[in-house]
């Protein structure tokens, strides 16, 4: 079961309501910039984690301005659509709420997930969206992120290497994700949505002696959370 640190109290609480009822994930952003996109990205990963665990989710965006830019920027990063909060009619409150906010930001009552800002406020021109996504996912969400040349170059190298490896592993007989590896992945993202630990598990699997088919299935499984298109190069020449 996913447990998350409530930024209001510092205590760890269940992100899943009793009886697997609906969880409402609300992303709160003042306008469009890279820090707002990071908030939306954390909310997107939270939605994915809840859905993998079988929890129904309602994703909402609360923004004061630049809604069109926010939706376009989110779509470019592979963030699934969030409904505009202002378009929601009566009955919206009949669910558990998890609010994803900027560090120090306020939100209505409910569990509050705080996201540190991005120290480079402008998205670099021509940056690959999936590389930006990985660069923003790599640091803990409580740590400020940067989208500088070094961070994007590291994300580029990682994605090229992983996609090539996944395409090569896919040529071997499929094997199930080992229970130990699946357990490590689930423990990571269900423990306060620890995405950096998920990435560390994938690096360990990459260098392990697990069967190629099991490594392929592991990366495909983890990508349900990460959304990095790790299977994109299947069928491409070696």
178, 184 contact by CB (below 8 A): no
Question: Which has the closest alpha carbon to 82: 113, 110, 133, 46?
Answer: 46
Beta bridge partners of 112: 99
Q: What is the DSSP string of 116-134?
A: PPBSS-SPPTT--HHHHHH
Classify residue 145 by its DSSP letter: B
| CATH of region 152-226 | 1.20.120
The structure tokens listed for 13 are: 């609480």
Query: How would you write the pLDDT of the chain (238 residues) with one tens digit per residue?
Result: 899 999 989 999 988 876 667 889 999 998 899 999 999 999 999 999 999 999 999 999 987 678 888 999 999 999 999 998 766 655 555 568 899 999 877 667 778 999 999 998 888 888 899 999 999 999 999 999 999 999 999 999 999 999 999 999 999 999 999 999 999 999 999 999 999 999 999 999 999 999 999 999 999 999 999 999 999 988 766 5
Report pLDDT for 89.
Answer: 55
pLDDT of residue 124: 82
Q: How many CA atoms lie within 13 A of 62 on its CB side?
A: 15
Q: pTM of the full predicted structure?
A: 0.93
Rounded to whole angstroms, how far apart are CA atoms 13 and 30?
26
Enumerate the CATH 1.20.120 domain ranges in the chain, comma separated: 152-226
Residue 115 phi/psi, 5-degree rounding, is -125, 125
């Amino acid at each position: 079961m996913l447990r998350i640190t409530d930024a209001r109290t510092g205590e760890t609480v269940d992100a899943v309501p009793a009886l697997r009822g609906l969880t409402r994930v609300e992303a709160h952003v003042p306008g469009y910039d890279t820090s707002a996109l990071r908030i939306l990205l954390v909310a997107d990963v939270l939605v994915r984690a809840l859905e993998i665990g079988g929890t129904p989710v309602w994703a909402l965006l609360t923004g004061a301005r630049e809604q069109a830019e926010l939706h376009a920027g989110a779509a470019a990063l592979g963030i699934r659509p969030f409904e505009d909060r202002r378009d929601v009619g009566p009955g919206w409150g009949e669910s558990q709420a998890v609010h994803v906010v900027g560090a120090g930001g306020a939100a209505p009552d409910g569990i509050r997930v705080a996201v540190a800002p991005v120290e480079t406020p402008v998205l670099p021109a021509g940056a690959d969206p999936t590389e930006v996504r990985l660069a923003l996912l790599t640091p803990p969400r409580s740590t400020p992120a940067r989208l500088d040349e070094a961070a994007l170059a590291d994300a580029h190298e990682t994605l090229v290497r992983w996609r090539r490896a996944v395409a090569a592993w896919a040529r071997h007989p499929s094997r199930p994700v080992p229970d130990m590896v699946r357990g490590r992945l689930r423990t990571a993202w269900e423990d306060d949505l620890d995405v950096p630990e998920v990435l560390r598990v994938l690096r360990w699997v990459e260098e392990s002696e697990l069967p190629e088919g099991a490594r392929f299935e592991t990366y495909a499984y983890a990508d349900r959370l990460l959304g990095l298109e790790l299977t994109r190069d299947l069928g491409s020449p070696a």
